[in-house]
Amino acid sequence: MKPLKELTRPNIWTLKPYSSARDEYNGAEASIFLDANENPYNTPNNRYPDPLQRELKRLIAPVKKVLPEQIFLGNGSDEAIDLLFRAFCRPGTDNVVAIDPTYGMYQVCAEVNDVEYRKVQLDEDFQFKSDKLLAASDDNTKLVFLCSPNNPTGNNLCQEEILALLQDFQGLVIIDEAYADFSDVPSYLNKLEDYPNLIVLQTFSKAWGCAAIRLGMAFASKEIIGIMNRIKYPYNVNLLTQQEAIRMMEKHYQVQEWVKSLLNERSRLVKEFRKLPCCEQVYPTDANFFLTRVTDAKRIYDYLVEKGIIVRNRTNVTLCHNCLRITVGTRPENDALLEALKGKKWEK
Ligand SMILES: *Cc1c(COP(=O)(O)O)cnc(C)c1O
């Protein structure tokens, strides 16, 4: 890995961050706060929240086996993705490399930040080769985006290739683990010590059942997290979100139960879906959704919408012609989907 100073945009490296009232005073003993122009009424929503979400990070750190200083919390993983572009990629000059197909936000953030986005197509099995990603990179490639289990394909990426990339790439490697809770493959969090260029993204939006509270996590070296914290909005995670996440951490056994039952439901749904006459293939999945090639994605999508069932039509995505991405729901929801498609073929 290149020195972090070389990877960071010079203006960000030298930035003096905005210092909020709650940054300058954060001792716990004081009881009279006349420093932040807050309203003394309407407790607790009158007070600015902790800009570094310390209580929440104290709860997350032991569960993830990292230090609180290795955690960034943001308004969804999407905030972390955007901050990585803003911290490391000089607009109009630097570029990033990503697998294709994958999660659409990486490209959107690249374009918003005027950063070239280089796609490297996956093979038939939706796997990549480290050498191909390296060949697409150059001296101005700051970030490589991987997503495992990948969206929309659902599969884990090959560990050997991921480790080869972490070893050989001189910039930062982001592994988006939004769906890792649904997979048996261990998280790459346990590789943070070995690879200083690794950034792992996770989220409260999927297995944790908290998409509405908007809370994403990035894990990396203290130095990388420090840079992200310097450029984030001071109060990027609001009080209600911090409180709800703390409540969720205290009942994380519940998440394990949800995951277990969704995985059972996934096996059943996939098995039944394969029998449908409109289904040509269900791809292997390690997530809470599956990708399926059907006889006619557009017509099946439209038909399901009419029945009040919404799936994701991915037919226009690389390698996904005539593919639908289907999220595993509750048993009755999945049954309604199967029932709607029973006996329907939509000949090509
Ligand atoms: C759903 C998803 C996320 C979650 O994003 P949030 O902003 O945290 O809701 C991140 N990455 C991938 C690949 C996803 O599919």
Ligand 1 closest atom vs CA 102: 13
Residue 127 burial (CB count, 10 A)? 15
Torsion of Cα atoms, 230 then 236 then 239 then 242, to 10°: -80
Residue 104 — very low, low, confident or very high, per pLDDT cuts 50/70/90? very high
pLDDT at 38: 96
DSSP letter, residue 35:
S
Residue nearest to atom 10 of ligand 1 (CA): 178
- In angstroms, the CA 104 to CA 255 distance is 26
The CA R_g of the chain, rounded to the nearest whole Å, is 22
What are 287-331's pLDDT values in tens digits?
Answer: 999 999 999 999 999 999 999 999 999 999 999 999 999 999 999
Q: 20: pLDDT confidence band, cut at 50, 70 and 90?
A: confident
3-state secondary structure of 224: helix
Atom of ligand 1 nearest to the CA of 215: 8
pLDDT (tens digit per residue) in 21-66: 777 776 667 889 999 999 999 999 999 999 999 999 999 999 999 9
Range 142-169 average pLDDT: 98
Cα-to-centroid distance, 36 and ligand 1 (Å): 34
CB-defined site of ligand 1, < 6 Å = 76-78, 103, 147, 151, 176, 178, 203, 205-206, 211, 216
Mean pLDDT over the full length of the chain: 96
Nearest CA to ligand 1 atom 11: 178
Rounded Cα–Cα distance for residues 189 and 160 (Å): 16
Task: Decide if pLDDT at 150 tops 90.
Answer: yes
Q: State pTM to two decimals.
A: 0.96
**What is the CA(76)–ligand 1 centre distance, in A?**
7
pLDDT reported for residue 325 = 98
Residues 100-121 as b/e (b if ≥16 CB within 10 A, e otherwise) read: bbbbebbbebbeebebbbbbbe
CB 182 within 8 A of CB 287: yes
DSSP 3-state of 342: coil
Q: What is the mean pLDDT of residues 189-213?
A: 98
CA nearest ligand 1 atom 3, residue: 178
d(CA 130, CA 3): 21
Tell me the CA–centroid distance for residue 151 and ligand 1, in Å: 9
pLDDT bucket at 226, cuts 50 / 70 / 90 = very high
Q: Residue 348's pLDDT band (boundaries 50, 70, 90)?
A: low
Cβ neighbour number for residue 64 with a 10 Å cutoff = 18
pLDDT surpasses 70 at 184: yes
Cis omega before residue 91 (within 30°)? no
In 10 A of CB 226, how many CB atoms?
14
Report how far residue 238's alpha carbon sits from residue 75's, in angstroms, rounded to the nearest whole number: 9
Geometric angle at alpha carbon 266, from 263 and 271, rounded to 5°? 135
Distances in Å between the Cα of 272 and the Cα atoms of 91, 269, 310 are 48, 5, 18
Q: Is 34 helix (H, G, I), strand (E, B) or coil?
A: coil
Tokens of 104: 């659409």
Q: What does the angle CA 137 – CA 196 – CA 186 come to, to the nearest 5 degrees?
A: 95
Mean pLDDT over residues 134-144, rounded?
Answer: 98
pLDDT value, residue 156: 98
Question: In Å, what is the CA distance from 26 to each residue of 67, 68, 227, 235?
Answer: 20, 16, 20, 14
CA of 203 to the centre of ligand 1 (A): 7
Digit-coded pLDDT (tens) for 81-93: 999 999 999 999 9
